[in-house]
Amino acid sequence: MTNVANNNIPTKPEMLGIFWIKPDGTIFMVYKASYTFVELRSDYKAVEMSHSLFWCQNVKTLAPEYQDKHYQSIPRGRVIWDDINRTTLVFLHKDFVENPVTIKNVKNEFGISKCDFLYDAHYDLVS
């Protein structure tokens, strides 16, 4: 019997979650959960953790250099699973959608082989 790879089978991420982005494109302040344990909502999977709550609970210990900043004043993003289109989506600040450092960091951190990086106005900075 010949083993044939099916390229039409969607590749699910290992993890879903949220993150922030430093000016050099690296990511930090990452919250992630295993794809397997995240509940499917109507048509997508996403961690329930909000950027606001995670920032408030963790910035002093994980990124003390940012503790005087508002969580929306630092570029951020979210990794979700789109169950309708059977693909991983990464929503993030517009300046990092095509940044090769950010793309590599997100894919490595969340165990993603294939995904779409998309700008979403929700991730615009607030001063």
Domain annotation covers residue 88 = yes
- Output the pTM of the full model: 0.90
Domain annotation covers residue 9 = no
Domain annotation covers residue 1 = no
Domain annotation covers residue 7 = no
Domain annotation covers residue 2 = no
Residue 52: give the domain boundaries.
15-123
Rounded Cα–Cα distance for residues 96 and 120 (Å): 11
- Of 13, 49, 21, 33, nearest in space to 123 by CA: 21
Domain annotation covers residue 29 = yes
Rounded Cα–Cα distance for residues 104 and 13 (Å): 14
Rounded Cα–Cα distance for residues 7 and 76 (Å): 31
> Tens digits of per-residue pLDDT, 40-93?
998 999 999 999 999 999 999 999 999 999 999 999 999 999 999 999 999 999
Rounded Cα–Cα distance for residues 64 and 121 (Å): 27
Rounded Cα–Cα distance for residues 93 and 105 (Å): 15
Domain annotation covers residue 5 = no
Domain annotation covers residue 118 = yes
